[in-house]
Chain A
């Protein structure tokens, strides 16, 4: 589809938001009581924030929920039954105001969930998702989108991308058919573009991801991994906040005879992740697990999934309880 650019006035943004929330679920960022930024379904427009740098958790849960029920069962020995999930009930969702790094992550997730046989839970959710992104007019020291091939106004993953203008209005880049449908449904709110300047933050490039990828192919045995993971406590927070981490666990939960099998987020940083029943663990110590995290995202995925496993959002660093900074480590890695 040919992309077009329109103008949407500050006061029209509220009208668009209200029109969308009137007939579907809109997942939008708000400032929670504890000052953390979190996404909620259909908050009032006054609550929606336009000035956040990054939400505490990424928005991946709209396509890859923390817990996804896979089916329900009744275990009655020879009479056991399984009840499938009705995927037609997966709702249409509009993701509102998510930044370009988070939106680019949907492609990365697709490269994991659909590279071989297609995961219908993921793909149905993605199919039902429309993304109204918001370019970044603010950033901080943790941001490194420009080091992984993205930018504060990357269009990847958005159906419409809003960019703040100096006078408080927004440019709306209409990028896909889904985005076009939304614009058509509220055509009177979109006007012809003005020559008002966009406010886009500057994110300094810290490393070259191509350089990192090429260095990693020979760095498996490098002392770097031990030296740089000594303080890692294996809490898994980096994976939970990451927009592209997709490793999961599968568990059963039963009440009496009835129960459900579900999948839930997991992390390669946990010792139990790879532990065999025999007691043997292929990744026994934390440094091996830290190496796996970096290798998977910057070496294995580019080779296997043709996508980088990182979008430079900086959450793993800003959220790390022991202040491990992935961008600093990658910067060091490109020079080893």
Chain B
């Protein structure tokens, strides 16, 4: 075993899903069986994914720990590394370091209702915990997913959305921004906060997980508060820029905390104690 904490596992791309024109999901398999056997992670954790020669990029593990033998990641082509990743093909090599960071407290949530609220490319960091709790369906009460994107073509995980929609034990509400609908769109039309307000889910014995662009968070928080959610029952993930992933390079430092070590999962109660540097 190497002492080198910067050395990634070599992973093989087993499958590629083109979620939207600029978003891809990779299914990655460890090239070395020993690595695969030792590897464990929990919902909410992230990793550093790399194209050798282009650098590393940080994303959450998007697959559930209940699904063994592979990990998945979903990314949008945005910078140097994600563009290089997007150019890879099935069979190509990706470097992966991880898992890093804390986890969603799914055990603490047992017996509660779960309300997942995601906007755009923020469904991927939540997909892991969503599947984790769906795979342990008996342990939770109602599971509600509210997912919004700018347009119909920006909705990621279209196959899974269909699967969730068809399941009687999951309530899925999808919405697109006004003007983003297609003629055969059957979901909601409107911004996430307004759709949530209309849906008015009960805050009784319910945990809310909220991920999305800052503007969505800003307008959704007051709705959740109005519905009676306590700060400690609202969770999100922060995504500050990172290099190392284990609290040394200094980049993701917010106050005395490191997003990579103390996060990425935070309750809103914790967020309120942080300086606004995220």
Contacts and interface: CB of A to CB of B under 8 A. Distances in A.
Interface of A: 70-71, 73-75, 77-82, 84-85, 87, 112-113, 115-121, 220, 246-252, 254, 259, 261, 263, 266, 268, 273-278, 280, 282-283, 288, 292, 295-296, 299-300, 303-304
B208 interface: no
Contacts of A295: 255
Nearest to B4: A84
A250 B91 contact: no
B52 A276 contact: no
Interface stretch (B15-23, B53-61, B128-136, B166-174): B53-61
Given A82-B10, A288-B277, A300 B253 contact: yes
B79 to A, nearest CB: 4
B248 A112 contact: yes
A215 to B, nearest CB: 16
Interface of B: 2-8, 10, 12, 50-56, 78-79, 82, 88-89, 91-93, 95, 214, 239-241, 243-244, 246-251, 253-256, 261, 275-278
B96 to A, nearest CB: 12
Contacts of A118: 5
B277 A282 contact: yes
Given A78-B93, A120-B3, A274-B277, 12 more contacts: A70-B6, A75-B53, A77-B92, A80-B52, A119-B248, A120-B5, A246-B248, A252-B50, A252-B53, A275-B241, A282-B277, A300-B255
B240 A274 contact: yes
Contact of A247 (B3, B78, B251): B251
Contacts of B275: 220
A113 B2 contact: no
A274 B241 contact: yes
Chain A to chain B: the 10 pairs with minimum beta-carbon distance, closest first: A247-B250, A80-B93, A120-B3, A254-B53, A70-B6, A75-B52, A300-B256, A277-B79, A282-B277, A73-B52
Contacts of A248: 243-244, 248-250
A288 B4 CA distance: 34
A253 to B, nearest CB: 8
A73 B53 contact: yes
8 contacts: A75-B53, A78-B93, A80-B10, A85-B4, A250-B6, A250-B249, A259-B53, A266-B250
Contact of B256 (A115, A261, A304): A304
Contacts of B250: 246-248, 266, 268, 296
A275 B264 CA distance: 17
B7 A82 contact: yes
B59 to A, nearest CB: 11
Nearest to A69: B6
Nearest to B277: A282
A282 B92 contact: no
Q: Which of B82, B250, B255 has the most CB of A within 10 A?
A: B250
Contacts of B92: 77-78
B6 A77 contact: no
Nearest to A282: B277
A118 B250 CA distance: 15
B256 A299 contact: yes
A282 B240 contact: yes
Contact of A282 (B4, B7, B254): B254
A261 B93 CA distance: 16
Contact of A71 (B6, B78, B243, B251): B6
Contacts of A276: 239-241
Given A75-B53, A282-B278, A288-B277, A117 B251 contact: no
A70 B4 contact: yes
Given A78-B93, A261-B6, A299-B256, A249 B243 contact: yes
